[in-house]
Amino acid sequence: MRRICGAALMAGLLAASPPVVACAAAQPGVKGSAADMNARATRFADRPPIAFGTAWYPEHWPEERWEKDLAWMEKANFNTVRIAEFAWSTMEPREGEFDFEWLDRAIAAASRHGMMVVLGTPSAAPPAWMTQRYPDVLRVDEDGVRATHGGRRHFSFASERYRMFARRIAEKMAERYGDNPNVVGWQIDNEIGPPSFGPEAEERWHSFLEQRYGTIDTLNERWATEYWSQHYNNFGQIPLRATGQHNPGLLLDFKHFTTATWTDYVQNQLDAIRAHADPRQFVTTNTMFWNAGFDHYELHERLDLASWDNYIQDADPDWIANGANHDLVRGYKQRNFWLMETQAGRVDWVPINRALAPGQVREMGWQAVQHGADAILYWEFRAARNGQETYYGTVLGQDGTPAPIFNEIAKLGGELREAMPALADTEPVYRMAMLFDYDSRWALDLQRLHEDFDPIREFTDFYRPFRLGSQGVAVLPVDAELSAYPLVVAPALNVVTASDAERLEAYVRGGGHLVLGPRSGMKDDANALWPQRQPGPLEPLLGAQVEQFYALDQPVKLTGAFGAGEAAIWAEWLSPEAEDVEVLARYDDPAGWLDKKPAILSRPVGRGRITYVGAWLQPDMMRRLAEKLMADEGIGPILSTDSDDVEIGARSGAGKTVLIAINHGDEPQPLRSPVGAERIAGTVTNGALPAHGVAVFRVDRDMLSTSKGATH
């Protein structure tokens, strides 16, 4: 698989000689293709293809103020509001008494000002009448303490009574607004995640395990419960725990249980909405940064699109890590997503709540679009008069006048409005793929063996040089269709099932290049060691095994085909078995276990190749390895740059191609404008992209659409 599409992609793109680029072919019918679902904000053909707006809480303010607030939204170039997500006590002030007339008027007012409306179901914050009369709906923590009223997410995800109330309010809303032409979509709940450990959850846990394993003997065998006399006689004996000195199989299955329970919880409201809603209205739920509470791929399977809440914790964005999370969210459905919440300057929950620098709110908005967001919504529009989040950054102050960030947000909105015709029905262009697996993340987190072996950090350390070098990385689940990608990297595929191994082997034999990182193939999906050594069921494909692994308290040197460098945190001693295994790097560790031992191996198999990276490489060596792997597959950047502060990405589809260049740095950076391109947003001054500047170009539609493969 050496599909070179540089000529088709790059002809006329640069004044200088273009790099060689390998692209993955777009596959008809694959999720995310334009043929599968339009790459635009909604399914309403007469609505804007890009949503830009805010979270609005009309119930917080006198109704006579609404028109002024909505007028300010128009001035900010907003076209979308999200409302009602925390308004349960306003919609149902007493049990069984519903008041939607205020919401009718709010939706109508928003529509008069040109706003699309997304309705949030209010189940993240139950009303006091419910928690007082039915305390069994409240969440119980792992120590057995029941939550009290006054916060949010204090309900039990396992409570049948709570699910009944949540379904009823969702159904009432859907009956009333399911055919409202101004309502384009629904958000179920808000940032779900905290589990419960009460009696109902425990009962569900035991039923889940019985359904998963069938018999207690099978569970005992999979969990190896002979260890520490853990043998169980029946499912009812098994404790419901998420932490502590418990069997690794139990702890991983707790994550499977929370996934199943949250998925069922969301499905409960999803069914109520879909029974009454216009099929053009989408249904989603908003998730959070690298959230580990459940498997997002599974939860999103029945939802229409993914959405997430992007908040920068330290006001000093690591743009590559942030982009990786955008790509992860897009991978949930393998189609464009909504940025349902993002900060208007600052947050209020970190040690120093510094505001983003001038220009950064705009640049982070364009980054989201570059990575596949078809919507950007700011939280929140106006500072509340009281409440737990009054210090959050807002578009308007509590006095109803614009905050300093208003003009920057309005500028972004104006640019998006101008760029909408070019962006409509386009999707990110990917050169390669990386695999992110929740079972592997959880298994590694449960047994790190080195305090710094953070699976998210490891993923990002791999992602960084590949994103810089390819300028387009799809993040996918392990069971995704991979044949379109010449290079697939799995940084920490710790958990590998037999079926996973079969799919990955087929990918390699069919012509793909699979790259595995350290700690790959150690465990099965019950968190048990495979009987063979690493990489478990992939050992025959690799033609090698891991002889031993070592947590490192100091760096170890390596030398190899792409130069010398160091490994830190983790190193594995690899042992080739097949004659055609190539050693790409060895350790240089005099007097140590690793001295002269292979660290990186590669083997041709069928029409493809498998490479195993047995060490956590330091950044310089990781970058050189990534450059070699990409060069081997003919993968290069879309637009060459001289600085790692400049992010380049493309969106393509419907015969159009849009290039987005972003300078995340504090100094101007050179940018060679694409030859013959039309600039539709931003500025390039004297051949340079300003600090925190953006430039958006519409380029020849043939540059990507006729290539052997731009994967959208």
Q: What is the pLDDT of residue 701?
A: 57
Residue 668 contacts residue 694 (beta carbons within 8 Å)? no
What are residue 515's phi and psi, to 5 degrees?
-115, 120
Residues marked active site are found at: 191, 341
- Give the Cα separation of 707 and 10 in Å (integer): 9
Mean pLDDT per segment of 10 residues, for the chain of length 712 residues? 32 34 35 50 96 97 96 98 97 98 98 98 97 98 95 95 98 98 98 97 98 98 97 98 96 98 98 98 96 96 97 86 98 98 84 88 97 97 84 90 96 98 96 98 97 97 98 98 98 97 98 98 97 97 98 97 96 98 97 96 98 98 97 95 96 96 97 90 94 94 42 56
DSSP three-state, residue 663 = strand
DSSP three-state, residue 163 = helix
Residue 424 contacts residue 49 (beta carbons within 8 Å)? yes
Name residue 656's beta-bridge partners.
653
- Give the Cα separation of 169 and 175 in Å (integer): 10
Tokens of 91: 């919609």
- Give the Cα separation of 137 and 160 in Å (integer): 8
Q: What is the pLDDT of residue 348?
A: 77
Please choose, from the candidates 81, 170, 185, 93, the residue with its C-alpha nearest in 3D space to the C-alpha of residue 124.
170
Residue 340 contacts residue 374 (beta carbons within 8 Å)? no
- Give the Cα separation of 49 and 393 in Å (integer): 27
DSSP 58: G
Residue 313 contacts residue 404 (beta carbons within 8 Å)? no
- Give the Cα separation of 242 and 198 in Å (integer): 13
- Give the Cα separation of 332 and 334 in Å (integer): 6
DSSP 236: G
Amino acid at 559: T
Q: What is the pLDDT of residue 39?
A: 82
Q: What is the pLDDT of residue 369?
A: 98
Q: What is the pLDDT of residue 14?
A: 36
CB atoms within 10 A of CB 194: 16
Q: Residue 567: which H helix or E strand, with range?
A: strand 563-576
Q: What is the pLDDT of residue 206?
A: 98
> If 0-12 CB within 10 Å is exposed, 13-18 middle and 19+ buried, where does residue 132 land?
exposed
Residue ranges of the alpha helices (H) in 284-405?
296-299, 319-333, 360-370
Give the side-chain half-sphere CA count within 13 A for 145: 3
CB atoms within 10 A of CB 669: 19
DSSP string, 388-455: TTTTS--SB-TTSSB-TTHHHHHHHHHHHHHHHHHHTT-EE-BSEEEE--HHHHHHHHHT-SSTT--H
- Give the Cα separation of 298 and 183 in Å (integer): 26
What are residue 569's phi and psi, to 5 degrees?
75, -50
Pairing of strands 646-653, 427-428: antiparallel
- Give the Cα separation of 355 and 498 in Å (integer): 48
Cis peptide before 535 (omega within 30 of 0): yes
Cis peptide before 226 (omega within 30 of 0): no
What are residue 195's phi and psi, to 5 degrees?
-80, 175
DSSP 191: S
Q: What is the pLDDT of residue 711?
A: 57
Q: What is the pLDDT of residue 38?
A: 59
Between helix 66-75 and helix 101-112 the angle, nearest 10°, is: 30
Question: What length does the chain have?
Answer: 712
What are residue 385's phi and psi, to 5 degrees?
-70, -25
> If 0-12 CB within 10 Å is exposed, 13-18 middle and 19+ buried, where does residue 565 land?
buried
641: CB partners within 8 A, 6+ apart? 648, 661, 669, 670, 671
DSSP 355: P
- Give the Cα separation of 212 and 252 in Å (integer): 13
The CA distances from residue 481 to 15, 269, 428, in Å, are: 36, 30, 17
What are residue 333's phi and psi, to 5 degrees?
-115, -5
**Structure-derived torsion over alpha carbons of residues 461, 466, 467, 468, reported in degrees to the nearest 10:** 100
Pairing of strands 373-379, 427-428: unpaired
CB atoms within 10 A of CB 160: 12
295: CB partners within 8 A, 6+ apart? 255, 256, 259, 438, 439
pTM attached to this predicted model: 0.94
Residue 699 Cα to chain centre, angstroms: 28
Q: What is the pLDDT of residue 197?
A: 98
- Give the Cα separation of 675 and 659 in Å (integer): 12
In the block, tokens 């009823």 appear at 168
DSSP three-state, residue 53 = strand
- Give the Cα separation of 399 and 688 in Å (integer): 40
Residue 254 contacts residue 527 (beta carbons within 8 Å)? no
Tokens of 516: 């595995």
